[in-house]
Amino acid sequence: MTSITEESTNKVFGGWQKVFSHQSKELGCKMKFGVYVPPQSDSGPVPVVYWLSGLTCTEQNFITKAGSQSHAAKHGFLVVAPDTSPRGCNIEGEDDSYDFGSGAGFYIDATEEKWKTNYRMYSYVTKELPAVIAANFKVQADNNAIMGHSMGGHGALICALKNPGMYKSVSAFAPICNPTCCPWGIKGFTGYLGEGNKNVWKEYDACELLKKYNGPPLEILVDQGKGDNFLADGQLLPDNLVGACAKAGVPVVMRMQEDYDHSYYFISTFMGDHFDHHAKFLKD
Amino acid sequence: MTSITEESTNKVFGGWQKVFSHQSKELGCKMKFGVYVPPQSDSGPVPVVYWLSGLTCTEQNFITKAGSQSHAAKHGFLVVAPDTSPRGCNIEGEDDSYDFGSGAGFYIDATEEKWKTNYRMYSYVTKELPAVIAANFKVQADNNAIMGHSMGGHGALICALKNPGMYKSVSAFAPICNPTCCPWGIKGFTGYLGEGNKNVWKEYDACELLKKYNGPPLEILVDQGKGDNFLADGQLLPDNLVGACAKAGVPVVMRMQEDYDHSYYFISTFMGDHFDHHAKFLKD
């Protein structure tokens, strides 16, 4: 179950950026994921930070463009960056659009017949992958954080809200805050979960999950570029998250960043702040 | 002559990473280059740092993977990153190999009939591009530095050594130190300069140029990964540079970095040190 194959390894900031492949049981296909092993791993178990990427990404975008390794090395965090969907499942239509199918798993467990066997990214990220990491790396059990970008920001928020206590902190860059109310989310949820059962949709929407969250205190950090064209298009809906947090009594710091867009240039600029945020909760 | 077109612009670390295109007179084709405009540009002219990339690169590799913008913003340097060769010249054979033709201009002015009209990257980088930058950006004349990677490290070294005083400092990551003595250099110089005139070859080889350098003092900083497969292959020859510098009385700091390879992971790790190096010479 936990057999993994090292695909690449590069020394960076005193640690090692690695990419592994493995046969995923949840997804029924071969998957790749990135792992940054910080220099502090030599002296004992370290905390784990999960990163979830956005639409069209593989494990490569984050590890090559986000500038995360300097911060991970400074804090001594192992950083895990999975791919964004199952790959090569030969499902009819899986490669037809950038926002559905390959590269667009939405971090949910599909229920529709055509997708339900493979498109189980929620269970992959919250169950299978943590077990793989625990079995193969020297990590501190129960000292995890999660963050992500866009579709992956949505993923980070729902993983934290659905699993109280599993992640000590959560943050997001330009997350899809309210997928049941935006075009990307409606397309994805309709395809993977079906049009009929809106109660299942709510189980994967941060704004809905906040209504019933009663786990340990969570402090959510979000950065959102004001020059992000997907903000203008109504895909991200940060105001809805702020409103839902206020109603739920969950503290959120929503930083609207002048002129920044949706790119990894934006992400790299504030990556250090997000690591500092997680460090407040992950350090003993 | 200095008309440029903005192809993209992204806010990053308080400044703007831009890509421009223009019609190059030296190269006889449309070229792209990256410019990072630091936040300090708002208050007056800033120093310029040139970055020359390695084989196969476009202007994109450096600007997306090197993590340079945080350092450029800290120091207030405008950073210029050109492409690595002319593009789309329709010269027979230009796209046949990764180490000759497109993506492999070697920062020299070709003399061979087939290449001499377009392959003039040396004049492009040292004459045309600085004029374009001076005409379009608020920069401090005569406050320039240059650095590069691999083929671009070679480029940075020869540009500095051939133009005493033009660049106040120079540094390189895993440079091709002695191209007349390594397979990449011999292939490139044979193709662009012809097999016959070895005296012309020496005009583009840092180890040869050091023999006659008598400009202002230069302090060369070089980082070289010990795990770099091109080091083992004899393409880089850092010992020859150290020897030539010793004979010429030019100080060089050659840092051999355990386990690091030839990738942008290596580059990003030591990018901050190189900016600090240039800052010693560029600051008033």
Give pLDDT tens digits for B104-128: 999 999 999 999 999 999 999 999 9
Size of interface A-B (CB pairs under 8 A): 61
Q: How confident is the model over A185-198, as a mean pLDDT?
A: 96
Q: How big is the CA angle at B137 (ends B72 and B165), to the nearest 5 degrees? A: 70
Asked if the C-beta of B10 comes within 8 angstroms of chain A's C-beta atoms, the answer is: yes
Asked if the C-beta of B98 comes within 8 angstroms of chain A's C-beta atoms, the answer is: no
Q: Which residues of A214-253 are buried (b: 16+ CB within 10 A; e: fewer)?
A: eeeebebbbbbbebbebbeeebbbbebbbbbbeebebebe
As a whole number, the mean pLDDT across chain B is 97
Catalytic residue from among A71, A154, A262, A274: A262
Q: What per-residue confidence (pLDDT) applies to B197? A: 86
Cut 0.90: pTM above it: yes
Asked if the C-beta of B264 comes within 8 angstroms of chain A's C-beta atoms, the answer is: yes
- pLDDT range class, residue B2, cuts 50, 70, 90: low
Q: Which is more confidently placed, A196 or B282? A: B282
Q: What per-residue confidence (pLDDT) applies to A2? A: 66
Closest-CA distance, A12 to chain B, in angstroms, reads 5
* pLDDT reading at B147 higher than 70: yes
B227 neighbourhood in chain A, CB within 8 Å: 11
H helix runs in chain B, sequence order = 59-65, 68-75, 121-123, 129-136, 151-162, 183-193, 198-202, 206-209, 229-232, 238-248, 264-282
Give how far Cα B74 sits from Cα of B85, B262, B281, Å.
30, 26, 15
- Burial of residue B107, with CB atoms counted within 10 A of its CB: 0-12 exposed, 13-18 middle, 19 or more buried: buried
**What is the distance between the alpha carbons of residues B88 and A170, in angstroms, rounded to a whole number?**
47
Element (H, E) at A269: helix A264-282
pLDDT > 70 fraction of chain A, expressed in percent and rounded:
99
